[in-house]
Amino acid sequence: MDSQMFDLARDAMAKAHAPYSRFHVGAVVKGANGRLYAGCNVENAAYPQGNCAETSAISAMVLDGETRIAEVLVMGAGEGLVTPCGGCRQRIREFATDDVPIHICSPDELRRTVTLGELLPLSFGPENLR
Ligand code: THU
């Protein structure tokens, strides 16, 4: 994980729209093209309409014409590890293989790196529909 990824996630986290949970999350995905795409969580007064940070970052990547994820970083505060939620694991899976590293960070440091395969074993993906 490079420091640029970390810094972008921290900036994104600071911009989260999270007036309901007050839980700010920043995410950065690195495309196979080497570019970095940041996102933050965007909550909504109609609660289920809120978006996770990973969802926003993936949207930015797809908008840029990239559809392969090389690396992911998720950042959140608190004692527990802020890993991607179940829905976001599947959203990442759409564009990533099992070996893709996912860096779990606090705003201060890298806490742990896991792979997508560890977070979402035996997953269903685009290959199943080919
Ligand atoms: N959240 C994310 O943005 N990403 C995750 O991986 C976990 C949860 C957000 C959703 C919601 O806005 C807030 O954190 C509390 O669940």
Residue 90's domain is classified under what CATH number? 3.40.140.10
pLDDT at 124: 97
> Does residue 62 belong to any structural domain of this protein?
yes
**Residue span of the structural domain in which 72 resides:** 3-122
- In the DSSP assignment, the letter for residue 17 is B
Q: What is the pLDDT of residues 95-125, one digit of tens each?
A: 999 999 999 999 999 999 999 999 999 999 9
* CA separation for the pair 88, 57 (Å, rounded): 11
Contacts within 8 Å (CB) and 24+ apart, 64-68: 64/31, 64/35, 64/37, 66/31, 66/32, 66/33, 66/35, 66/37, 67/95, 68/31, 68/32, 68/33, 68/95, 68/96
Ligand 1: atom nearest CA of 85 is: 6
Q: How many domains does the chain have?
A: 1
> Does residue 30 belong to any structural domain of this protein?
yes
Ligand 1: atom nearest CA of 52 is: 3
> Does residue 128 belong to any structural domain of this protein?
no
> Does residue 129 belong to any structural domain of this protein?
no
pLDDT at 1: 76
pLDDT at 17: 98
Q: What is the pLDDT of residues 1-51, one digit of tens each?
A: 789 999 999 999 999 999 999 999 999 999 999 999 999 999 999 999 999
> Does residue 31 belong to any structural domain of this protein?
yes
Mean pLDDT calculated for residue range 71-98: 98
Residue nearest to atom 2 of ligand 1 (CA): 52
Residues 6+ apart with CB under 8 A from 37: 28, 29, 30, 31, 57, 58, 60, 61, 64, 66
Residues with CB under 6 A from ligand 1: 18, 21, 23, 25, 41, 43, 50, 52-54, 74, 84-85, 88
pLDDT at 49: 98
> Does residue 113 belong to any structural domain of this protein?
yes
* CA separation for the pair 59, 117 (Å, rounded): 22
Mean pLDDT calculated for residue range 70-97: 98
Mutate to test the pocket of ligand 1, among 85, 90, 93, 116 (most ligand atoms within 8 A of CB): 85
pLDDT at 44: 98
Catalytically annotated residues: 54
Residue nearest to atom 1 of ligand 1 (CA): 52
> Does residue 15 belong to any structural domain of this protein?
yes
The pTM of this model reads 0.97
